[in-house]
Amino acid sequence: MNLGTFLFLLLQAGYQVNGQINSNNAYCPSFAPNKIQCNNDHQVPGLPALSMTVLSNFHTLNKSLLCGQTPKAQFKEAARCLFKSYSHCGDNDFKGLVTKISKFEEAVDLVCSRSDLVDHYASCIGDSVIDCIRNREAREKLTTSDVPSRDEQFNEFVHFYCRKREIEEECIFDDEDVDACSSSSTVPTFRELRLLMKPPACSSSGLMSSITVVIFYALVGLCVH
C-alpha cells in the first residue's frame, strides 16, 4: 500500500494523527510558518513535505530515500524542528500526549535498521484492520465527533487519545489477516516501534491493563532480537 492510500485509510478510520494539540492557524498562528521553515531548512530530497501526520506514519516512507546517513540526519533535524513547533502550541499537559522527540529519533534508527521487516509488516495492515478500528472507535465513542471539549478534565483527553492508540494496537496485533501475512520476526519490531512512538501521557498507570500487555510484548521483543 502506498503512503497516500495508507494515510487516506487511516484518516477514514479516524486513526490518530497527532490531533492532540490544536495547531490550526486561528489557535496557534506560529505553527504554519514554522512548519514551512522546518521543511525548507532540512529538506530531504525525494520525500514529501513533512507534517505531523507524515511523521506519525514515517515508517511508510521510502527507506532508500530516508535512511542514507545524510538524509536520515536531515530528517531527524526536520522532525525535531516540527515536534518543537507543534508542542509549542500546547500546554504542559498536552505536550505529554505527543511522542517524545528522543524516542522518535530512536524509532527512525529502528525503522532504518530493519526496513525490510517494517515494510513487510506495514504491507500486511489492510482493510480488516481499518474496519476493526472504525468499529471499536464508534462503539467506545472515540470518533472525531467525540473529541473532548476544553472544559473537560485532562484525563478525558488522556483517555480519548491513549485509548485510540490501544485500539489501533489491538486491531493490528489481533488481526487474523495480519497474522497470516506477517512472520514472527516482524511483529516484535513493529511492537517496539509502537512503543517508541507512544506519548508519555499514555504510559501512566491509570490506563487499562491491555496497555501493560502491549508493553510486555514490546519488552519481550526487545529481549529476543
Ligand X SMILES: *[C@@H]1O[C@H](CO)[C@@H](O)[C@H](O)[C@H]1NC(C)=O
- Residue 119 Cβ, how far from ligand X at the closest point, in Å? 8
Residue 5 binding ligand X, by CB under 6 A: no
10 Å Cβ neighbour count for 181?
15
User: Considering beta carbons, is residue 64 or 210 the nearer one to ligand X?
Assistant: 64
Residue 46 binding ligand X, by CB under 6 A: yes
User: Considering beta carbons, is residue 4 or 46 the nearer one to ligand X?
Assistant: 46
Residue 62 binding ligand X, by CB under 6 A: yes
- Residue 113 Cβ, how far from ligand X at the closest point, in Å? 18
Q: Could you give the maximum distance between any two Cα atoms of the chain, in Å?
A: 48
> What whole-number distance in Å separates Cα of residue 202 and Cα of residue 172?
18
- Residue 67 Cβ, how far from ligand X at the closest point, in Å? 10
Contacting range for ligand X; rule: CB under 6 A; set: 57-65, 120-128, 152-160, 189-197: 57-65
Residue 48 binding ligand X, by CB under 6 A: no
Angle at 121 between CA 14 and CA 131, to 5 degrees: 30
User: Considering beta carbons, is residue 1 or 17 the nearer one to ligand X?
Assistant: 1
> What whole-number distance in Å separates Cα of residue 135 and Cα of residue 185?
29
- Residue 65 Cβ, how far from ligand X at the closest point, in Å? 5
Cell numbers linked to 206: 491509570
Contacting range for ligand X; rule: CB under 6 A; set: 59-67, 75-83, 84-92, 140-148: 59-67
Residue 102 binding ligand X, by CB under 6 A: no
User: Considering beta carbons, is residue 40 or 64 the nearer one to ligand X?
Assistant: 64
Residue 204 binding ligand X, by CB under 6 A: no
Q: Specify the DSSP class assigned to residue 50.
A: P
Enumerate the H helices of the chain as residue ranges: 3-12, 31-41, 52-56, 63-66, 69-87, 92-95, 101-113, 115-124, 127-139, 154-173, 176-181, 186-197, 209-224
Residue reference for cell 529502528: 110
